[in-house]
């Protein structure tokens, strides 16, 4: 299996599908998942002539269960190392949730001249936590409760969280138990310290300057019934900060990508990649 070893000795696992000479698309996953969360979209990309790459963020999936470096600056640096190692150019970035923050920070700090387009889906930018400068944000107590849930009974917490993640607590949901089980399975593969520490990374990192620095087309996609990352404090704010952005809102769609939402999103992603 392919791994990249970073300067601090962390092994980053990645998958590399499709045409090795095709335009590369890098997929960055959400918390607490792994690159496997993007399998459907990776196949879509590979089937359409692209080179599809998805890594497991440090501390997640098959990558080293790191004790340190579970922060957005390090995540972006790890992604930069992967790009350098594979010698990638003309890159399309796709990030869901925490991964949306990762690709935005990477693009702003390392991507000039390498990144062609960016798509974020239910992404955490600009900043989630409530503060004096972000009064519409989510109270810190919500993120404290996530950390408490992880510490008390991570397995049951992930099983319960999958309902909000996929919106199965809403009338008419068609998300299967298998998809909820997959969320639990991928979450339980992640390292304990990374799962806990990444909550601070995705909730308290301010990506406002990163969004403003982007100089390539950006697709910002999100469901308007996202119970994990509220759209009013995410996509609706992010679109105001980017220079060349397109906003796609999916009525009634949850945070997790599945079912009819996934089919609609994938159609829009493919059109964006090919444009």
State percent of the chain over pLDDT 90.
100
Give 222's pLDDT tier (boundaries 50, 70, 90): very high
* Mean pLDDT on 20-49: 98
Q: Is 181 a catalytic residue?
A: no
Q: Which of 28, 34, 97, 162 is catalytic?
A: 97
Q: In this structure, are residues 266 and 40 in contact, taking their beta carbons and an 8 Å threshold? A: yes
Task: Give mean pLDDT, residues 91-108.
Answer: 98
Do 76 and 55 touch, CB atoms closer than 8 A? no
Q: Is 71 an active-site residue? A: no
pLDDT at 172: 93
pLDDT at 1 (0 to 100): 62
Give the whole-angstrom CA distance, residue 58 versus residue 74. 9
Q: Which residues pair with 11 in a beta bridge?
A: 5
pLDDT tens per residue, range 42-83: 999 999 999 999 999 999 999 999 999 999 999 999 999 999
Ordered DSSP codes for 246-265: EEEEETT--SS--HHHHHHH
Binned at pLDDT 50, 70 and 90, residue 132 comes out as very high
Spell out the domain ranges in the chain: 3-274
CB-based contact 33:55 (threshold 8 Å) = no
| Spatial separation of the C-alpha atoms in residues 96 and 103, rounded to whole Å | 9
- 23 vs 44: CA distance, rounded Å: 13
pLDDT of residue 243: 98
Domain 3-274 - what CATH class?
A: alpha beta
**Adjacency order of strands within the sheet including 245-250:** 3-5, 11-18, 51-55, 24-28, 91-96, 115-121, 218-223, 245-250
Report the chain's mean pLDDT, rounded to a whole number.
Answer: 97
Confirm whether 176 is a catalytic residue. no
User: For residue 230, what pLDDT band results from cuts at 50, 70 and 90?
Assistant: very high
- The pLDDT tens digits of the residues spanning 13-22 come to 999 999 999 9
Q: What is the pLDDT of residue 214?
A: 98
Annotated active-site residue in 197, 210, 226, 233: 226
The per-residue pLDDT for range 155-208, each reduced to its tens digit, is 999 999 999 999 999 999 999 999 999 999 999 999 999 999 999 999 999 999
């Amino acid at each position: 299996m392919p791994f990249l070893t970073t300067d601090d000795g962390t092994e980053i696992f990645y998958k590399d599908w499709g045409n090795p000479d095709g335009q590369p698309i890098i997929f960055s996953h959400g918390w607490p998942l792994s690159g496997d969360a993007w399998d459907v979209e990776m196949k879509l990309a590979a089937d359409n002539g692209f080179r599809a790459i998805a890594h497991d963020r440090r501390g997640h999936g098959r990558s080293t269960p790191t004790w340190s470096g579970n922060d957005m600056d390090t995540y972006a640096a790890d992604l930069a190392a992967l790009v350098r190692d594979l010698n990638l150019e003309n890159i399309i970035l796709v990030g869901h949730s925490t991964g949306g923050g990762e690709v935005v920070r990477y693009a702003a700090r390392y991507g000039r001249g390498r990144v062609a387009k960016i798509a974020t889906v239910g992404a955490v930018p600009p900043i989630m936590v409530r503060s004096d400068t972000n009064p519409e944000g989510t109270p810190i107590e919500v993120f404290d409760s996530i950390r408490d849930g992880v510490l008390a009974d991570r397995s049951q917490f992930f099983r319960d969280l999958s309902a909000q993640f996929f919106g199965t607590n809403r009338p008419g949901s068609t998300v299967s138990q298998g998809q909820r089980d997959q969320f639990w399975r991928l979450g339980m593969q992640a390292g304990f310290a990374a799962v806990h520490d990444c909550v601070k990374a995705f909730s308290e990192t301010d990506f406002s300057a990163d969004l403003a620095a982007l100089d390539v087309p950006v697709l910002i996609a999100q469901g308007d019934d996202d119970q994990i990352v509220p759209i009013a404090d995410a996509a609706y704010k992010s679109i105001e900060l980017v220079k060349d952005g397109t906003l796609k809102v999916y009525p009634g769609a949850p945070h997790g990508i599945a079912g009819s939402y996934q089919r609609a999103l994938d159609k829009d992603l493919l059109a964006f990649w090919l444009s």
